[in-house]
A = this chain, B = another copy of it.
């Protein structure tokens, strides 16, 4: 961690923002009113939508935005020696108090070309904000969207756990991953600090190192455990050992295949956490050792009134293994008359990808909980959302970038975005109108065309019309009550549920309509 919570992020920017600021200032243009829009050009992961995220962090950044003396000193050392001293004096006065930021509510479904943020204010200041805002929105939105895709593939019932901290881009990347994958639909994280800072549920059991650290049953200390409703401790190790024989017999596993270090680890863990016993069963051999040991310890606990809470597998063909494990649980459940035993949740991890989930769903599986790390937090299917921050007006004049690269063209003018809803309550179009254009109305036909193609108009009649953006920051202050993380998560869920499945398909999703009103098309 190089940065502190109380440190200024004002220098977390690209140098050209500062050289441009000097250019504006030298030309006396620093206070000209300007509007920038922050948007992405293509939906990530070849999908049909994204979730907008990062807003709360942007607002915290704006509120604190100010260059401090050491920042100014550093800039002076970097800019040419001919830079006028009065420019640095001016920078000392700069903050976000004249900046207005409108945004979609955090967690909203958003689409290519539709601004996530609209940033208005003095040209020099809104230019200086670019890089940091992009940095705070890009990854947040990408990982929230990635999480939402995993959630859609997994369906509503399986628990999803984020465990990518060790694969993230450093401490802050890991915290962002935990936070925004929770918004996107995950249930919990392994990241303790994310739990502490954000109130996200944290989960965890044991790693292979715990199992491997035990070699023999002599290492089990203490050996005793009190029953759930009793005071008299019993020799739990002996009890578990006696169950090993019965379980091996029942599963037709040779008792000498069962690893004693693994049994010692399970017994020790169960004595430490009698109400929360889970077993990681793949350190040695799942069917020959891990499952017999797990079942023995869980059945011994059951005899004392406790219920084991889970099994975890961290290698191999996870879908197939979940079925074999369920078969073992079912066998023990039947042979030992312990009905709840068959329902012990099975958790899996180990390089789980979208493809893994697709295969499991096709082939059937007995998985209850999925832990996802690398493929969630590093977003390998598309490692960057590619948001841009484009100037659309200066001094009230629309700005159009007419480049040779058509995809990089910008759409000029400060916009109001209307989300149009159909009779089924689904969003079907985002209409990007200029501020001076007449708003569409519920129940009235409006002529619209694709962005930049005014000769191909058609008419649509929305059942309801919503203004997509709200003003979140004005006069140096956050001017909306900000939702809690849980509320943002819930908004993301609702927002996705109001999008047609056609746009949420993984294969060739139908593009969501983003259009402009056609001139004079208000009827």
Contacts and interface: CB of A to CB of B under 8 A. Distances in A.
Contacts of A380: 380, 382-384
Given A1-B3, A3-B5, A169-B176, A379 B374 contact: no
Given A135-B170, A195-B78, A213-B394, A207 B16 contact: yes
A401 B127 CA distance: 55
A20 B315 contact: no
Classify the interface of chain A: helix, strand, loop or mixed.
mixed
A212 B401 contact: yes
A172 interface: yes
Contacts of A14: 163, 165-166, 190-192, 204
Contact of A173 (B9, B28, B173, B191): B173
A383 B374 contact: yes
Interface string A238-276: 000000000000000000000000000100110111111
A196 interface: yes
A213 B391 contact: yes
A171 B4 CA distance: 11
Contacts of A172: 1-3, 169-173
Given A5-B7, A173-B172, A190-B16, A391 B28 contact: no
Contacts of A80: 273, 275-276
A399 B212 contact: yes
Interface in A370-425: 374, 377-380, 382-384, 386-387, 389-391, 394, 397, 399-405, 408
Contact of A383 (B271, B286, B383): B383
14 contacts: A3-B4, A4-B4, A14-B163, A16-B190, A16-B204, A23-B265, A27-B221, A34-B213, A75-B192, A80-B276, A131-B166, A167-B384, A169-B173, A208-B403
